[in-house]
Amino acid sequence: MATLRALPRITPRAILRPQCLYRRPNSSLAAPDASNPKLQQIDASKLTITKTTTPKELIPHDQLIFGRNFSDHMLSLEWTSTHGWLAPNITPYQNLSLDPATCVLHYAFEAFEGMKAYKDKSGNVRLFRPDMNMARLNKSVARIALPTFDGPAFIELIKQFCQLDSRFIPSARGYSLYLRPNMIGTQRTLGVGPPGSALLYLIASPVGPYYPTGFKAISLEATTYAVRAWPGGVGASKLGANYAPCIVPQMQAAARGFQQNLWLFEEVVDGRKEEYVTEVGTMNLFACIKDKKTGQPELVTAPLDGTILEGVVRDSILSLARERLVPEGWKVSERRFHMREVCEAAEEGRLMEVFGSGTAAVVSPVRSIGYNGGLISCGLPEDKEAGPVTQRMKDWIEGIQYGEEEGHPWSWKI
């Protein structure tokens, strides 16, 4: 049972009492073994809660801007290589205190997640597939030598956090409380090696619909002069270090009239250079293409080959498509496809729709793609902002998120 205590200052212990760890140059790059029974695991029963004495005013729904305003509290847990996970805390939202030599500031020991809490028509708070977010965060932190953690235990803490700050969850359809779990390495050191301490924390921001006035189809610029991810890299991990390098190419695309980059990966296959479709901006990408010979419609997205982020919405779309579109005659594929295939389908009238998917927007329709000096039409009529598959996926997923589809296992009622 959570207890109340006086307000602490969030200063990671490893910064106050830095450890002097010697590591051989050829030490293993494996993540710290947080499952080691000798180390403490996350214990939700030890949660302490310090409520704010200065509650914030709620922002009117129509004035919400993504990521600008935050709820009253934050959730935090510290980890050290000698003790494991220390007792969790919920405290008023406040600044972190970090030594200038903290390893996250120099070597990007940081991974995060994006998820949301929703209110249904009865006022119940719901989470959407939080187990997948925890699994992905564990994969991400393991890739950069940060400690893994017990996902179900952290979900229990998130539930208590959401109950405490539930007044920040708007009740209208399309609105939600965006949750940002984040883990950083906190050891004070300029040495390069697995951090001896870490901080896992969660903050929350009330957000409105990604498209407040309805869908607005976007235009993409096919991009090869910059590469988002490559084989053997960290494209499948949700690391802050993957996002900052994409900003300049996005700015360059915007200067040419495009809203986002369509990230391509060049590869020579049988003596021919192909440009494979990977992701769009910070989203996964789907295309609806009719088969050239049979006319069968196919929903296709790039496979999880290590360069593609394992999107929760991506997985949801694939599952719903296999359940609901396949009986209608659709084929659903996770396969590599290149721009030559997209161009041919567009020229022959077989490119039906293209859309991105992600937590922020659920789905984002694409009207056109700038490629090799030309503009590829993605099948949308001039008077439409979204295709039928894009619209159905949005309706299906939001119906589950807001509890309108009764008893669906993806919607976790708190």
CB 286 within 8 A of CB 331: no
Give whole-number Cα distances, 208 to 22, 168, 366, 380, in Å: 48, 12, 21, 26
d(CA 214, CA 83): 50
Long-range contacts at 210-215 (CB < 8 A, ≥ 24 apart): 210/66, 210/360, 210/361, 210/362, 210/364, 211/361, 212/62, 212/174, 214/385, 215/365, 215/385, 215/386, 215/390, 215/391
The two beta strands, 218-223 and 362-371, are parallel
CB 324 within 8 A of CB 396: yes
The two tokens of residue 136 are 């992905």
* Burial label, 251 (beta-carbon count in 10 A; 0-12, 13-18, 19+): exposed
d(CA 262, CA 280): 4
- The pTM (predicted TM-score) of the whole model is 0.91
The two beta strands, 73-80 and 89-92, are antiparallel
Phi, psi torsion values for 102, nearest 5 degrees: -55, 135
Phi, psi torsion values for 228, nearest 5 degrees: -75, -40
- Residues in a beta bridge with 112: 182
Q: Return all residues near 220 (Cβ < 8 A) that are at least 6 apart.
A: 253, 258, 259, 260, 261, 262, 280, 366, 368, 369, 370
pLDDT in tens, the chain (414 residues): 444 444 445 555 544 333 333 233 333 344 555 556 678 999 999 999 999 999 999 999 889 989 999 999 999 999 999 999 999 999 999 999 999 999 999 999 999 999 999 999 999 999 999 999 999 999 999 999 999 999 999 999 999 999 999 999 999 899 999 999 999 999 999 999 999 999 999 999 999 988 777 789 999 999 999 999 999 999 999 999 999 999 999 999 999 999 999 999 999 989 999 999 999 999 999 999 999 999 999 999 999 999 999 999 999 999 999 999 999 999 999 999 999 999 999 999 999 999 999 999 999 999 999 999 999 999 999 999 999 999 999 999 999 999 999 999 999 999
The two tokens of residue 355 are 């859309």
Return the sign of the alpha-carbon dihedral for residues 307, 310, 313, 318. Answer: positive
